[in-house]
Each structure stands twice: as structure tokens, then as C-alpha cells.
């Protein structure tokens, strides 16, 4: 029986094109078999391994959408940094928004290992050719929205992302381990913020309830369309990029949130939500998929504002990228006396998208 190291060598071909192309049909078959065997054995596929073009394209699409969501997701919350009600809350929110920038950077790096540059991905985001999560096209109207986003949006993200720590593509899986740890902090700060409001004055309680009423349904949409309409799910599951279906994860999220809402003293805005003894899970009402599709098409309350702000942040960061490139070039000249710094990529100084006026 081949050792893990031998199997690794069998599916790695130094010098092969980035698209995984190999010279002969026999070699193609051998690499494809090695890839299938590695996925079946729950091994990780690494950047130098041969992989099907469609597997690479699927990963680039998913990782890019994930990275874009992290950096666009900074905007609705950054809207409240200057108006946080205490220094403690401000420090927590700043740390959280900064974490989201970091998540974007880990993910753009993971996409780069597949041969796709950040500038290309950012260009696709800015021109509307790649998407980000529809949730970030909703406005943050009150301070309680910061709590609702942490509890529900980061909570939904964790439910989605914990299984990605076991994704078949190594760099993506490893990025997710750290991201999930930080998302867990985000979820707890949101819960704690809502708890403080819920236990506060009647006005504060009403503000918390209103935020949960507005964010609940969009959070359920974060898991994507129902399984029978999800175009990419079956293949992604076969490749072990995805481990659970959209509906499965959505159900898990609902079951987690119901007792938490009770502890918060808040209600979830769904008259059809009830425990189903037979299934051992909660039943819940129908999701308005028309709204989801409209927001995805660009007709949500803040789509235009988010992209405009993102483009502006990118343009305003140009001088930082140029300075970093000049610095790296200076230190990489022979005899410059300092270790060569890696050439910066275009997004390295430009992930915030949070400068300028309040966003929502
Ligand atoms: Fe994040
Ligand atoms: Fe987060």
C-alpha cells in the first residue's frame, strides 16, 4: 500500500501548467485518479497538486465571493464606530471590523495559491462580475444592528464556515480555522451587546427587538437558495469543498438560535416557528426568495452605496500601494543591505472600504 508521501508525489507534478494540463491522456488519467483517491481518503489537495480545472474554478469563485463578503461586510458596522455608546464598545467594534479585513486578506491569499491574483478579483468585484453575500446590502439603522449582525450574521457565518475547516483544498481549510475562531468572538460580542440592550430600558429593548426583526430573514438567506435550486451544491459536495447542504445548515442555524433568542428575551419574527417533536428540529416559515434574488441582482437597499464606497477606498489607497511597491523595489536591489521584501499585491493596503462618510 502506498504511503501518504508517495501518494502526495503521485499527484504532484512540478512544472505542470497552472491549469493542471498534462501531456498525455494516460498521464491525465493517472493524475485524475490520484486526485479522486486523495479526495476520497479525506486528504488535502495542495496548490502544486494536479486538480481538475472545474475544481479550481469552483474554489476561486467561492473563495473570491467569501473574501469580497469579508471586506464589504466591514462597511455596515464601520458605520457605527464613531457613534459607539462607550469606549469599551468602540474598542470591541474596531477590533471586530479589523478582523474582517484580516479575513479578507487570508482569503485573497488562498485564492492566489490557485493562480488568480487579487487585482483581478478586486477588479471583478468592482465591476460587478463577482458577488459578495447579499446580507451586506442591508443598512445598519441603529446601534442594536451591530449586536444583531454579530449574533445572527456572524453566527450564520460560523455555521457555514466551521465545516469548511475540513474542506478538501488545504489553503482554504487552514484559513478557515483562524477565521472561525475570530467569528466565534464576533458572535459572542453581538449576543452580549443585544443582551445588555434587551435588559436595559424599554426603549433599548425595543431597539434590540427591531434589529432582530430586520436581520432574521436576511440571515437565513445567507445559507443560499434551497437545495433543489442550488446549482453548484452537488459537485461541491462530491469534491468535499462543501460538507453539508444549504438547507441542512440553515436548519442547524435555526435550531441554535431559538433557545438563544429565549435567553436574550427577544422573539424571532416568524409566526410559523415551532418545535417539531417528530423531526426533532424546528419548523419555520417560508423565506421570501424573491427578495433574495432582487438583492443579489443589485436592487437591495445599499448595493450601489457599498460598491461605490469600495471603489473609492481602492482608489484612495493607490498611493499606499505605490509607496509599498517602491519600498520593496528599493530593498530588493543588490547591495541594498536589507532583506528583500515580498512585492506587495494591490489589495494589501486597501481592504477597509471604511473611510469617508457613514455608510448606512
Ligand atoms: Fe469574517
Ligand atoms: Fe465576523
Kindly give the distance from the C-alpha atom of residue 99 to the centroid of ligand 2, in angstroms, as a whole number.
7
d(CA 99, CA 74): 9
90 is a domain residue = yes
Give the distance (Å) from ligand 1 centre to CA of residue 269. Answer: 25
- Domain range spanning residue 147? 36-320
Any domain includes 360: no
Q: Which ligand is nearest to the CA of 67?
A: 1
Closest CA to 80 of 178, 216, 213, 193: 193
Q: Name the pTM for this structure.
A: 0.85
Residue 174 lies in a domain: yes
| Residue 5 belongs to a domain | no
Residue with cell 509607496: 323
Number of structural domains in the chain: 1
Query: Would 83 be classed as within a structural domain?
Result: yes
Residue 346 lies in a domain: no
- CA 173–ligand 2 middle distance (angstroms): 17
Specify if 67 maps to a domain. yes
CA 269 to chain centre: 25
Per-residue pLDDT tens listing for the chain (360 residues): 344 444 555 666 544 444 444 445 677 788 899 999 999 999 999 999 999 999 999 999 999 999 999 999 999 999 999 999 999 999 999 999 999 999 999 999 999 999 999 999 999 999 999 999 999 999 999 999 999 999 999 999 999 999 999 999 999 999 999 999 999 999 999 999 999 999 999 999 999 999 999 999 999 999 999 988 877 778 898 999 989 999 999 999 999 999 999 999 999 999 999 999 999 999 999 999 999 999 988 899 999 999 999 999 999 999 999 999 999 999 988 776 555 555 544 444 444 444 333 333
Ligand 2 centroid to residue 51 C-alpha, Å:
31
Could you tell me the CATH number of the domain that includes residue 307?
Answer: 1.20.1260.10
Residue 7 belongs to some domain of the structure: no
Q: How many Å lie between the centroid of ligand 1 and the Cα of residue 323?
A: 28
Helix ranges, the chain (H): 4-10, 25-40, 53-72, 74-78, 87-112, 118-126, 144-148, 155-161, 170-198, 202-221, 233-238, 246-264, 289-294, 303-316, 318-332
Distance, CA 153 to ligand 2 centroid (Å)? 8
The ligand placed nearest to the CA atom of residue 69 is 1
Q: Which residues fall inside 5 Å of ion ligand 1, going by CB?
A: 70, 100, 103
Phi, psi of 345 (to 5 degrees): -100, 165
Collapsing DSSP states into helix, strand and coil, what is residue 167?
Answer: coil
For residue 245, how far is its CA from the centre of ligand 2 (angstroms)?
22
Amino acid at each position: 500500500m502506498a504511503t501518504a508521501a508517495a501518494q502526495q508525489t503521485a499527484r504532484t507534478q512540478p512544472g505542470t501548467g497552472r491549469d493542471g494540463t498534462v501531456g498525455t491522456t494516460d498521464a491525465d488519467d493517472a493524475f485524475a485518479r490520484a486526485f479522486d483517491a486523495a479526495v476520497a481518503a479525506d486528504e488535502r489537495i495542495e496548490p502544486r497538486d494536479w486538480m481538475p480545472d472545474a475544481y479550481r474554478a469552483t474554489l476561486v469563485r467561492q473563495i473570491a465571493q467569501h473574501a469580497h463578503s469579508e471586506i464589504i461586510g466591514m462597511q455596515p458596522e464601520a458605520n457605527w464606530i464613531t457613534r459607539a455608546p462607550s469606549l469599551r464598545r468602540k474598542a470591541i467594534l474596531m477590533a471586530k471590523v479589523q478582523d474582517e479585513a484580516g479575513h479578507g486578506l487570508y482569503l485573497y491569499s488562498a485564492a492566489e495559491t490557485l493562480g488568480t491574483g487579487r487585482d483581478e478579483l478586486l477588479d471583478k468585484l468592482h465591476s460587478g462580475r463577482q458577488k459578495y453575500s447579499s446580507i451586506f446590502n442591508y443598512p445598519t439603522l441603529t446601534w442594536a444592528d451591530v449586536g444583531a449582525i454579530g449574533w445572527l450574521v456572524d453566527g450564520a457565518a460560523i455555521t457555514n464556515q466551521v465545516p469548511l475547516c475540513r474542506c478538501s483544498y488545504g489553503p482554504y481549510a487552514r484559513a478557515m480555522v483562524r477565521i472561525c475562531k475570530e467569528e466565534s468572538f464576533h458572535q459572542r460580542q453581538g449576543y452580549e451587546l443585544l443582551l445588555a440592550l434587551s435588559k436595559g430600558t424599554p426603549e433599548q429593548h425595543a431597539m434590540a427587538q427591531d434589529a432582530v426583526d430586520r436581520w432574521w430573514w436576511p440571515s437565513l438567506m445567507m445559507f443560499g437558495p434551497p437545495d433543489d435550486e442550488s446549482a453548484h451544491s452537488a459537485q461541491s459536495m462530491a469534491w468535499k469543498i462543501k460538507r453539508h447542504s444549504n438547507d441542512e445548515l440553515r436548519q442547524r442555524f435555526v435550531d441554535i438560535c431559538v433557545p438563544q433568542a429565549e435567553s436574550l428575551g427577544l422573539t424571532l419574527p416568524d409566526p410559523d416557528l415551532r418545535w417539531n417533536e417528530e423531526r426533532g428540529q424546528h419548523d419555520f416559515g417560508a423565506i421570501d426568495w424573491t427578495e433574495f434574488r432582487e438583492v443579489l441582482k443589485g436592487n437591495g437597499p445599499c448595493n450601489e452605496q457599498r460598491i461605490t464606497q469600495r471603489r473609492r477606498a481602492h482608489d484612495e489607497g493607490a498611493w499606499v500601494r505605490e509607496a509599498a511597491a517602491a519600498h520593496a523595489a528599493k530593498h530588493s536591489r543588490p547591495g541594498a543591505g536589507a532583506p528583500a521584501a515580498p512585492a506587495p499585491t494591490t489589495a494589501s493596503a486597501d481592504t477597509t472600504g471604511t473611510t469617508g462618510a457613514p455608510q448606512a
